[in-house]
Amino acid sequence: MGGAAFALFSDQATSNDNTFSSGNADLVIANDVPPGNPDTYADSVAGVSVTDMVPGQVETKDFWLKNDSSGSFSMDLTVDLDDLQGSDTSVLVDELMVMFTCDTDNNGLGDGTDTSTAEKSVQDWLDDLPVALGSVGANQVASNATTDSDQDELICRMTATLPEDSDNDAAGKDLSFDGLFNGIQVAP
- Per-residue pLDDT at 6 exceeds 90: no
- In contact, 130 and 80? CB cutoff 8 Å: yes
Give me the percent of the chain exceeding a pLDDT of 90. Answer: 62
- In contact, 154 and 104? CB cutoff 8 Å: yes
Single-letter residue type at 60: T
Write the Ramachandran bin of 134: left for phi over 0, alpha for psi from -120 to 50, otherwise beta: left
In tens, the pLDDT along 24-69 reads 889 999 999 987 889 999 999 999 999 999 999 999 999 999 999 9
21 against 57, higher pLDDT: 57
pLDDT of residue 148: 44
pTM listed for this prediction: 0.84
CATH number of 27-47+54-185: 2.60.40
